[in-house]
Amino acid sequence: MASESDWPCARADGTGTLLDVHVVPGAKRTEACGLHGDALKLRLAAAPVEGQANDCLLRWLAEQLHLPRQQVVLKRGATSRRKQVWLPASLADVRRWLHGVSAEPA
């Protein structure tokens, strides 16, 4: 099992988890592709136009973690590649998901 330092992109916040992400819009498909510094790097199959990439990000995270889309909240970074998302899920659940979608951190 990974320790806290293995996934610096996720941390507990009240009744949920904050997830730091670095997005690369305009990809062929939406997928996680490891860490970018202390953020989860995600390729998004959406253009960074009129909120399309943000919507793609939030929908994908909700689907991946089996959460209601309306409860997944973009907290910071609406116009930036670096974003912070609040997830109504436990830190343990998010870390388990991270192990499944991304290569094990070095």
pLDDT tens, residue by residue, 23-33: 999 999 999 99
**CATH fold label, 4-101:** Conserved Hypothetical Protein Mth637; Chain: A; (3.30.1200)
Q: What is the pLDDT of residue 5?
A: 61
Predicted pLDDT at 77: 96
DSSP 8-class letter at 23: E
pLDDT, position 104: 45
- Give residues with Cβ within 8 angstroms of 19, minimum separation 6: 9, 10, 40, 61, 84, 85, 86, 87, 94
Per-residue pLDDT, 105: 45
Ranges of residues in the chain whose predicted pLDDT is under 50: 1-2, 104-106
pTM score of the predicted model: 0.89
At position 86, the amino acid (one-letter code) is W
For the chain, the structural domain boundaries read 4-101
Pairing relationship of beta strands 16-25 and 10-13 according to DSSP bridges: antiparallel
